[in-house]
Amino acid sequence: MPWWSWVVIWVVLVLALLGMLALFGFRLFRKLMAALDELGKLADKTELLQRRAEELGEQRFRPAVFADAGALRAARDQDLADRERRRQARRDSLVKRGKLLVKADPQQFSHLTRRT
């Protein structure tokens, strides 16, 4: 094999490598531009959400570590009392419903057992 064939082979390989690198670089550039475009859209949406959150006027999260222990204890006791009150109301309604079912007149539902 003559010496110039090696030069041709290496020139072709180097050109193929440069072409491949250019193609990958172009694809990477396009993906980067698309990502930057989406990042801009995300920044706009974040700004809109931030404005809406400020309009709602909700207070920011404040860890309980910085709150007064007595106030936290009172709030927890109130929550427990409210929960117990809701449970008792549910129990009372279930007992009332059960008593209505026990005292129901069976003849009242006889039309359900009749064959047609």
Tokens of 49: 């959400």
Region of residue 34 (left: phi > 0; alpha: psi -120 to 50; beta: else): alpha
Tokens of 81: 């009392």
Model pLDDT for residues 52-99, shown as the tens digit of each residue: 888 887 777 778 788 888 999 999 999 999 999 999 999 999 999 988
Residues 6 or more apart whose Cβ sits within 8 Å of residue 72:
64
Judge if pTM exceeds 0.85: no
Model pLDDT for residues 19-61, shown as the tens digit of each residue: 999 999 999 999 999 999 999 999 999 999 998 888 887 777 7
